[in-house]
């Protein structure tokens, strides 16, 4: 009777170790961005812009050299 409990304990411990290994391995891969920018080329509007150099469309143009910026005032 006692060997049955030992077997279940060993099996339970083995299952816990496998589960911990799966979690550790899954966390080892870095997260990645989606392959396609879904917003690229779509219309963009903003309630404010800092100036004409930083339009709302720059937020979704796919160019890492451009950006959108809101007015430099509260409550932006």
Spell out the domain ranges in the chain: 1-32, 37-76
User: What DSSP letter does each residue of 53-67 carry, written as one string?
Assistant: TS-GGGGGSS-TT--
Looking at per-residue pLDDT, the higher value among 28 and 70 belongs to: 70
d(CA 32, CA 35): 9
d(CA 49, CA 29): 38
- Mind listing the pLDDT tens digit for each residue in 11-55? 888 888 888 887 777 666 676 766 777 888 889 999 899 999 999
The whole-model pTM stands at 0.47
Distances (CA, A) of 11 to 18, 43, 56: 11, 57, 58
């Amino acid at each position: 009777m006692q060997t049955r409990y030992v077997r279940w304990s060993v099996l339970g411990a083995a299952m816990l170790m496998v589960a911990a290994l799966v979690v550790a391995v899954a966390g080892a891969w870095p997260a990645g961005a989606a392959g396609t920018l879904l917003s690229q080329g779509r219309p963009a509007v903003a309630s404010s812009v800092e100036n004409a150099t930083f339009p709302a469309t720059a937020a979704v143009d796919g160019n890492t050299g451009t950006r959108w910026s809101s007015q430099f005032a509260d409550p932006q």
